């Protein structure tokens, strides 16, 4: 089965073609970061309009790169939610139109399931069951994964997600959008010994996260350092390092606790924050001592992308799922509403 995947949930337009026999054939991505940077965050209306402009040229490019024509496509998968409703509608409308014109099925895919399954695109993929840490945009979740669609939420952020906290701290430090990579780059020059920030909720039972208090602690530290003067670059770097260390330690502690609780030895980390180098290194060190493994998507597939949607769609389409006549996009869509399925025969899954 050859599946066209479309991702338009927020500020990246992604298109890909995935074949269950041959794997990923082609993918392309357009990021709207430069457009939104001047506003300090994503402007939903601008995001939707840019998806309209970009998605068809990307579609043509990907079909050419995959050496495919419409007659080769067996189904169209698109991000059905969660996400910005206007942005979701761009991908959904195009996907359903193409599917109707080509005489093939269409299917709306859960955005976070796409992230969760993105490591399956790698040559060495994790085997079920495993614990997944999903750190994407407004989501920070720990999920037990027994098979595709068989998910049990173990813990999640009760306020700011990790990615949101990075973005807000970046604004405090006067850094441009998007904040995560900017804070990480600044932190690389910081002194890890100067400040010690709290590791929120690690001294209480459970696997939930909270980063709002850490954000407030960062703001207080900034004001104390600045006083009546402008904050120095050294102060900014040291504060960024302390903040990043606190977030990384918190995520690592909770991941280790989740694996111990579930009696598992495999962790999957996916989403934009999973590209953070310090987090990857700390997890590798922490889990190797416990004879556990951690799997990540390739860097190109950490952020939103069409490949993960094409793969997740291929899995569900092969299991017989298709859009009904009343299909709609879902800006909010709990993962526990998804049904469990088996991976398609021949797909790059364990």
Residue 39 CA: distances (Å) to CA of 47, 50, 164, 176: 12, 15, 16, 10
279 is in an annotated binding site: no
81 is in an annotated binding site: no
27 is in an annotated binding site: no
Of the candidates 215, 101, 225, the one whose C-alpha atom is nearest the C-alpha of residue 163 is 215
User: Torsion over CA of 9, 12, 15 and 20, rounded to 10 degrees?
Assistant: -70
d(CA 192, CA 238): 7
115 is in an annotated binding site: yes
Longest dimension (CA), the chain: 67
11 is in an annotated binding site: no
116 is in an annotated binding site: no
d(CA 55, CA 283): 36
d(CA 99, CA 189): 50
160 is in an annotated binding site: no
111 is in an annotated binding site: yes
138 is in an annotated binding site: yes
Binding site feature residues for substrate? 134-138, 167, 180, 276
Binding site feature residues? 111, 115, 134-138, 167, 180, 276, 304
Binding site feature residues for Fe cation? 111, 115, 304
């Amino acid at each position: 089965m050859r599946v066209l995947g479309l991702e338009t949930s927020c500020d990246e337009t992604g298109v890909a073609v995935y074949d269950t026999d041959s794997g990923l054939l082609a993918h392309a991505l357009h990021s709207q970061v430069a457009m939104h940077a001047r506003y300090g965050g994503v402007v939903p209306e601008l995001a939707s309009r840019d998806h309209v402009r970009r998605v068809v040229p990307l579609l043509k490019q990907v079909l050419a790169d995959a050496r495919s024509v419409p007659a080769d496509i067996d189904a169209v998968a698109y991000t059905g939610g969660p996400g910005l409703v206007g942005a979701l509608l761009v991908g959904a409308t195009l996907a359903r139109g193409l599917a109707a014109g080509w005489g093939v099925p269409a299917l709306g895919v859960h955005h976070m399931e796409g992230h969760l399954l993105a490591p399956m695109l790698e040559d060495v993929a994790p085997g079920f069951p495993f614990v997944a840490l999903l750190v994407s945009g407004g989501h920070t979740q720990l999920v037990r994964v027994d098979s595709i669609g068989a998910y049990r939420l173990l813990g999640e952020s009760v306020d700011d997600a990790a990615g949101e906290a990075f973005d807000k701290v970046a604004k405090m430090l006067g850094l441009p959008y998007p904040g995560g990579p900017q804070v990480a780059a600044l932190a690389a020059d910081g002194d890890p010994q100067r400040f010690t920030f709290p590791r929120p909720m690690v001294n209480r039972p459970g696997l939930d996260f909270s980063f709002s208090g850490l954000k407030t602690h960062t703001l207080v530290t900034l004001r104390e350092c600045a006083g009546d003067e402008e904050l120095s670059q050294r102060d900014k770097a040291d504060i960024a390092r302390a903040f990043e260390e606190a977030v990384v330690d918190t995520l690592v502690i909770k991941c280790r606790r989740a694996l111990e609780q579930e009696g598992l030895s495999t962790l999957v980390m996916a989403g934009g924050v999973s590209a953070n180098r310090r987090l990857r290194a700390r997890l590798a060190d922490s889990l190797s001592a416990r004879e556990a493994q951690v799997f990540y998507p390739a860097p190109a597939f950490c952020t939103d992308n069409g490949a993960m949607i094409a793969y997740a769609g291929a899995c569900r389409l092969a299991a017989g799922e298709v859009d009904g006549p009343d299909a709609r996009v879902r800006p909010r869509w709990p993962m526990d509403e998804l049904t469990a399925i088996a991976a398609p025969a021949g797909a790059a899954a364990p």
